[in-house]
Copies of this chain bind each other. A is one copy, B any other.
Amino acid sequence: MSDNITSSEPNFHRTVPDGDEFERLVCKRCDFIHYENPKIIAGAVIEHQGQLLLCRRAIEPRAGYWTVPAGFMELGETPNEGAARESFEEARATIEVGSLLGVYTVKRISQVHMMYRAKMTDPHFEPGPESREVALFKWEDIPWPELAFPSVTWALRDYHKVRGVDDFAPFSNPEGYQDV
């Protein structure tokens, strides 16, 4: 199952609607335009007593690899709220969301990853249904080769750079990784 309606769908064809500059999927019968736009992944680098919370994924993609809690933002929420919801869903962690750490773009799949700094407001955590394991890691123990996605690596590294800094501009993709 995919979240893209493809042009093989019988009633949709690709065409540039009047007044538009881009090809869209348009229904041949009713002229309904199916706009496809980038999606936001909202996530959080969560600290608790000097350690960082990571989840080992129970699901594809990248099952078995470690990630920070993150997922598709839902309708009717802010990115901060999305990050908090995902933290609860994946790690049963209740968090206070802080500043925007980074905005990382994965152009190939049209995703914008908005990663926030956060703190646990309660010491409890446990795996949600999408996680095999949840754990707190000291900085020197982070399993770098076993991280699930580049944006997880970038967010953790960038988190470390601004520890103790209050006002900073959010990070973006590292040099040379603009077109991942």
Interface residues of A (CB under 8 A from B): 1-3, 5, 19, 21-22, 31-40, 72-79, 89, 99-100, 103, 105, 107-108, 110, 112, 114, 129, 166-170, 172, 178
Main SS class of interface, A: loop
Q: 27 pairs across A/B with beta carbons < 8 Å?
A: A1-B32, A1-B33, A3-B33, A3-B35, A5-B34, A19-B129, A37-B39, A37-B73, A37-B74, A37-B75, A38-B73, A38-B75, A38-B77, A40-B40, A73-B112, A75-B110, A76-B110, A77-B107, A78-B107, A79-B112, A99-B169, A100-B103, A100-B170, A103-B114, A167-B168, A167-B169, A170-B170
Closest to A173 in B: B78
Q: A79 to nearest B CB, angstroms?
A: 6
Smallest beta-carbon distance A127→chain B, Å: 15
Contact, CB under 8 Å: A31 / B1? yes
For A75, what are the chain B residues with a Cβ–Cβ distance below 8 Å?
36-38, 110
Distance, CA A110 to CA B72, complexed state (A): 13
Q: Please report the C-alpha to C-alpha distance between residue A72 and residue B167 in the assembled complex, in whole angstroms.
A: 28
